[in-house]
Structure 1
Amino acid sequence: MIKKANIQNHLVLIIFSILSIFPMYWMVISSLKSESEIFSFSLFPSDLTFSNYSYAFETMPLVKMLLNSVTISILTTAGQLIIAILFAYAFTRWDFKFKGLIYLALSVTWLIPLQAIMVPNYVQINELGINGTVWGIIVPGLCSVFANIYLYQSFNAFPKALFDAARIDGISEWRILVDIVLPNMKPTIAALSIILIISSWNDYLWPMLVSRTLESSPIQIGLKSFVSNDSNLWGSLMAATTISCIPIFIAYIILQRSIMDTFLKKGIK
């Protein structure tokens, strides 16, 4: 009876896994199809071609845009993590006046849509002289309210006895954070990192407003160039999209162990 239940559970997992992977598979095989076959329902292209990839590289500076996306995602995520770690530790360790009010006000700002602050941000980066550059995309996103709240909840669950023991031993607050808290929060920070990286990687509206040339744009702006009112180059779009997914896959492979550890620990709790 137990074995039968296990078989049924595995069958359900296999079905859902196939459904999850199929869109990615369809994207890849569509990038290998010719224009005449792109709308067919064949699961494998009858005439395998790499012309879509060569056209994508010839049409736009794909490598440069990929490097821009990697730079934007890494620097934005790093800034968000540093600010979130310092915020979470400060709010966890110290009690001060209006602490609850400040946290509430910060939480409320999470509800403000990007469109409401785009004009002030645009004016600010113009004054800083970084409009039309990669830094113009990065700077307004260096602080993430989501990351602050996420890490605060995790830091707040950290055993307070360890803080007190470290302070009795004469360890400074900085060493407590670096040597005690962060090593135990590695899975949580890794899981948050992949969320922030994907969010920054897929951002489109703000980079479109700031970018002036393809050479200073992330890959998401370049993908839109394959779709227009005149013609839709679906094969080349699928090829460029496949290439744009590779860095995200690499990031997930590097961090997947830490992410799985986070899910397991959350499930045990």
Structure 2
Amino acid sequence: MTTNIAMPMTRVAPVRSRPHPVLRAPFGHGVMIILSLICLLPVYWMIVSSLRPANALLDGAFWPSTITLENYSYALRAIPIGSMLVNTVIVSVAVTAFQLLTGLLAAYAFVRYRFAFDKLIYALMAVTWLTPLQVVMIPNYLLVARLGMLDSLTALILPHFASALAVMLFTQSMRTFPKEVLEAARMDGAGGWRILWEVIVPNLQGMIASLTILIFISTWNEYFWPLLLSRTPANSVIQIGIQMFMTAEGTEWGPLMAASTMASLPILIFYVLLQRQVVQSFMKSGIR
């Protein structure tokens, strides 16, 4: 006796054809080129507007018919751009160095040692990172005023002495560091200070480079805190100098664009010279 068993029919999902890699590469490059041009358009328009004469600032031409450096000459005469750029460099470098140093030391303390309320302190520190600057701006201003440091570069640096973001990122990186390496260093007689600077820090170069870039650019573009403290142009930063071209009578767009170009030039040169290191550091550290 023969029994016929009906086998269940299974549907085979249709195989979707994917574009050939030879076709995907030009498409991806084309998209990246278009996005790059969109990102560069404001920078291009800033530079071109700074080269236009006063009677052609609202001209919609892609390239000015007449090129002049009068806006740069006027901007250099109107505000002390040189001293402001030097002040901005000093503040940015100092804030970056202090935040990296305090971040490394605090992160090593959280990872290496166990002390009372360490988790609570770490949580409270993380909360400060989520607190907007405007919330603590007035208390910081009152503290700086009582210390007699208004209108000084020290006042611009002191409130940014430490960064919760730096502490958190360094802490997470150090927690993933191989414990066997640390134990081997201790067996060789290395103390905590030597382990930090000779074992851990050399292996955090990607994270340190990424944070250096982020902190430096963020400090360079800082506006509200210098605006609150600065009283004289000689003790101010370049962002305040740019704002001086926006008055109640109107905005001087030509000199403003010229000053903005001069303020952006150091950052652009820094990125062009260190483009490869910048990209590699962000890839290694995982920051996007």
Fold-level similarity (TM above 0.5)? yes
Give 2:121's aligned amino acid: I
Normalized per residue, which structure has more helix?
1
Deviation by residue 1:186-230 (Cα, 9 ceiling, x = unmatched)? 121111111111111111111111111011110111101111220
* Equivalent pair of 1:77/1:193 in contact (CA under 8 Å): yes
Give 1:179's aligned amino acid: E
- Which residue of 209, 216, 219 corresponds with 1:200? 219
* Equivalent pair of 1:187/1:258 in contact (CA under 8 Å): no
Deviation by residue 1:248-268 (Cα, 9 ceiling, x = unmatched)? 22333455433322333356x
Partner residue in 2 for 1:218: 237
Does 47-56 or 254-263 show the bigger shift?
254-263
Partner residue in 2 for 1:127: 146
Give 1:65's aligned amino acid: M
> TM-score, normalization: structure 2?
0.88
1:84 positional shift: 0.4
Does 247-256 or 183-192 show the bigger shift?
247-256
Whole-angstrom distance in 2 between the partners of 1:254 and 1:47: 31
- Which residue of 166, 173, 176 corresponds with 1:147? 166
Partner residue in 2 for 1:100: 119
Determine whether 1:259 maps to 2:255. Answer: no
- 1:1-269 correspondence to structure 2 within 5 Å: 1-253=20-272, 255-265=274-284
- The structure number with the bigger radius of gyration is 2
Aligned-residue CA RMSD (Å): 1.5
Mark the runs of 5 or more structure 2 residues left unpaired by the alignment: 1-19
Mark the runs of 5 or more structure 1 residues left unpaired by the alignment: none
Seq. identity, %: 42
1:148 positional shift: 1.4
| Count, aligned residues | 267
* Equivalent pair of 1:30/1:38 in contact (CA under 8 Å): yes
